[in-house]
Amino acid sequence: MAVLFDGLPVIQPGCVWLVGAGPGDPGLLTLHAAHALSQADVIVHDALVNEACLTLAKPTAILEFAGKRGGKPSPKQRDISLRLVELAQQGHRVLRLKGGDPFVFGRGGEEALMLVEHNIPFRIVPGITAGIGGLAYAGIPVTHRDVNHAVTFLTGHDSSGLVPDRVDWAAIAQGSPVIVMYMAMKHIGQITRRLMEAGRSPDEPLAFVCNATTSDQQVAISSLGQAEADSVRLSLQPPAVVVVGEVVGLRKTLDWLNR
């Protein structure tokens, strides 16, 4: 393991690394992420970080939970960001470990801006985002040249918890052959209706990928018109990625986990 880390940068005292842990499978950690875990004095981690990843922390590391889960009491984002500043100012080597990629619907930009405001040195370590890695584990490629040449990634709710009004649903419905949605379970009925009202067919394939890349992964195939009913019937629960488009049909052949 030490050989793998030779030549990689180290976390300096008073510095914060914003690191993506990937969608769940600890094997999808990058070398930078694994190296950071072995060095950090304090690890501030999200709810979606697989606990197996945390076993790579050094024995003296302090683990601080800062998970934000919809509908449950959660720390405020500003408080989390200020906590990173506080820890760095105390001279700690700080690792902010986030599920997926910190800059893909992960609030990493907000935290980085707070660090800049307080003159805290930082590093960004990208991770595999669930909208790509999670779908790959479900046998669903986000692009396939015989199906689509564009894909849109969007979030199913804004900072208020509502369906984002600033999303041009009509433009996305008409212009993006594949749509990948994060945090969309709560408002799946509203979202699918908006897409259909903008012209998408109710028969278009849709897939739910819950707990992607973990041993609890669940994949449910539906359609745009039946998605809301199927999510209730099957008792599907977040965390989940929802994908709409003809690439969903490729799962029949590419479901490599169950071959």
Contact 115, 84 (CB under 8 A): yes
pLDDT at 27: 96
Looking at the annotation, which residues are catalytic? 46, 68, 183
Question: Residue 211's pLDDT is what?
Answer: 97
Question: Do 119 and 104 share a structural domain?
Answer: yes
In this predicted structure, what is the pLDDT of residue 176?
97
141 and 55 share one domain: no
Question: Mean per-residue pLDDT for 233-237?
Answer: 97
Q: Tell me which amino acid residue 159 is.
A: S
Q: Pick the last residue of a domain from 99, 128, 157.
A: 128
How do strand 240-244 and strand 178-182 relate by DSSP bridges?
antiparallel
Answer with the residue of higher pLDDT: 162 or 34: 34
Same domain flag for 223 and 189: yes
Query: Does 159 lie in the same domain as 86?
Result: no
Distance CA 159, CA 104 (A): 15
Both 144 and 119 in one domain: the answer is no
What CATH code is carried by the domain that includes residue 36? 3.40.1010.10
pLDDT for 164: 80
Computed over every residue of the chain, the mean pLDDT equals 94
How many angstroms separate the CA atoms of 133 and 95, rounded?
22
Domain co-membership, 150 together with 209: yes
Last residue of a domain, one of 94, 128, 162: 128
Quick check: 226 pLDDT over 70? yes
pLDDT at 163: 86
User: Rounded to 5 degrees, what are φ and ψ at 45?
Assistant: -120, 155
Overall domain count for the chain: 2
Tell me the pLDDT tens digit for each residue of 99-140.
999 999 999 999 999 999 999 999 999 999 999 999 999 999
Residues 42 and 6 in one domain: yes
Assess whether 89 and 118 both reside in one domain. yes
Residues 82 and 173 in one domain: no
Per the CB < 8 A criterion, the answer to whether 9 and 95 are in contact is no
| Among candidate residues 74, 108, 128, the one where a domain is terminated | 128
**CATH number of the domain to which 207 belongs:** 3.30.950.10
- Please give the average per-residue pLDDT across 50-57, as a whole number: 96
Position 160 pLDDT exceeds 90: no
Q: Return the number of other C-beta atoms located less than 10 Å from residue 201's C-beta.
A: 11
Q: Do 185 and 92 belong to one domain?
A: no
Q: Do 191 and 143 reside in the same domain of the chain?
A: yes
Q: Say yes or no: 149 and 216 in one domain.
A: yes
pLDDT in tens, 176-203: 999 999 999 999 999 999 999 999 999 9
Confidence of residue 159 (pLDDT cuts 50, 70, 90): confident
Please provide the distance, in angstroms rounded to a whole number, between the alpha carbons at the two ends of the chain.
Answer: 32
Expressed as residue numbers, the domain containing 67 is 2-128
> What predicted TM-score, i.e. pTM, was given to this entire model?
0.92
